[in-house]
Amino acid sequence: MTARFELAKVPLCLFIGCAVLFGGLMACPALSLQALLVAAGVFLVATGAASLNSLQEHQLDGRLARTRNRPLPTGRLTRGQAGRQAAVLIVSGLFVVAFGAQNLLPAAVTAGAVVLYNGVYTPLKRKTVLAIVPGALCGALPALIGWLAGGGGNDSAAMLVVSLFILWQVPHFWLVLLSHRDDYTGSDLPNLLNQLPEKSVKRLLIIWIGALSFVMLMFAALPYPIWAGIRYGVMANGLVMSAIFSYGLVVRKTTNYRFFFIVLNSTLLIHMVLLGAGRMAGE
């Protein structure tokens, strides 16, 4: 069972489920059974897509120190088991999304996310560093699915929700790359460190973090009935993240990228919790 959980990358997929709930709460402040079902369905689909990704990349995983102990490279699971797990999770998850949303659009976007992730991003990242573009779009789709399921329209809040996760996904990917730079620079997998010096990648990282922090601040200006303390908390959260990255990467010039990875993901989680709680409390 542990091997199947590893194959499905359950912790990451739980984060994806939280993103769906966040998108739903931004569209509709009520935490309904419908919203929970959609989040659960997307979680199932995400675990299925992750299982399929593990199957698609099992040979590459065996060559990298970061991934060589995963279930398929070590033989703890067979390719057939991985394929069946992926199919069951994706199909069952799509049914749950369609049932929970009570319309087909969120389920269609969820299916499109699987195609984009497994059909475009996964094979493309073996060929070009530009695979990060569809990868970033994949990162934004869970929150968009929640937004659509919650009845959200095409307005400024929708743009902020999508922008937030696109701007988070890119530094998230770069920090994984930097944390395992020896692994990636020694491989034939296209990556930014084979094209730019580490110092240049760090500069790009600072720019993206600044943009992410700015978008987080913009959430505090949305015309929602949210307590002022929540708004200040949202602003402080984004500013503290930006300050930590700027001080650590520019002033201290530290290379503890794992620390920054934790800061980035924790900041996004705090952002979602603050705004989600604020939306429900202000209903």
Distance of CA 71 to the CA centre of its chain: 22
User: Mean pLDDT by 10-residue block, N- to C-terminus, for the chain (283 residues)?
Assistant: 90 95 93 94 97 91 84 91 96 96 93 97 91 93 95 87 96 92 78 86 94 96 90 97 94 90 97 94 69
Domain co-membership, 10 together with 47: yes
Domain co-membership, 111 together with 250: no
User: How far apart (Å, rounded) are the C-alpha atoms in residues 48 and 118?
Assistant: 10
Which helix H or strand E contains 210, and what residues bound it?
A: helix 198-219
Angle at 107 between CA 225 and CA 266, to 5 degrees: 50
Question: Coil, strand, or helix at residue 281?
Answer: helix
* CB-CB contact of 183 with 69 (8 Å): no
Quote the domain boundaries for residue 205.
Answer: 156-282
User: How far apart (Å, rounded) are the C-alpha atoms in residues 178 and 253?
Assistant: 14
Domain co-membership, 111 together with 248: no
User: How far apart (Å, rounded) are the C-alpha atoms in residues 39 and 21?
Assistant: 6
Query: Residue 92 corresponds to which tokens in the numbers above?
Result: 């069952």
Domain co-membership, 188 together with 85: no
Domain co-membership, 7 together with 87: yes
Amino acid 144: pLDDT: 96
Query: Residue 133 corresponds to which tokens in the numbers above?
Result: 């573009």
Q: How many domains are contained in the chain?
A: 2
Kindly report the pTM of this predicted structure: 0.93
